[in-house]
Amino acid sequence: MFTDRVEVTFEAGHRLLFYKGKCESPHGHTFKVEILVSSENLNDLGFVVDFVELKDKVNRWIEENWDHAFLVSGQDQELRRALDSLTDKKVFVFEDGNPSAENMARFFYQKVAEWYGKLVTRVRVWESPYDYAEYFERAAQ
């Protein structure tokens, strides 16, 4: 099995709705997204995927949607109203839950799977140099 890995770092803010602790307040992180794609076979050039192509797609999507954005739960009406009152803003809404590292990893796994199908094996979202959440789908038994 061959595995390729790319990573992209970006800045974003979020808060965890209904969380009782520091993360219930709006705050920011330097996030890192790590994408792993795997295959038993290589293409004609000897690649699982072209690193340049994958990193370009990931960078472009992150830049347009998450970089220097505020990531917000679709249920967080108070924060959404506050952000809507700003003239210059970038907001990305997680309709199905909190913008936790876990939900970000699942969301981005699904995004990369749109581009590369079953080659995507794992996505990790780091919210600090020491902490990450990882999403992958179990193989059929």
Strand, helix or coil for residue 65: helix
Under DSSP, the state recorded for 138 is P
Indicate if 34 belongs to the active site: no
Indicate if 134 belongs to the active site: no
Indicate if 78 belongs to the active site: no
Active-site entry in 7, 27, 63, 68: 68
Between CA 81 and CA 61 the distance in angstroms is 25
Helices 101-116 and 51-65 meet at what angle, rounded to 10? 130
First to last CA, the chain: 18
Active-site entry in 23, 29, 102, 134: 23
Asked if 33 contacts 58 with a C-beta cutoff of 8 angstroms, the reply is yes
Active site residues: 23, 68, 127
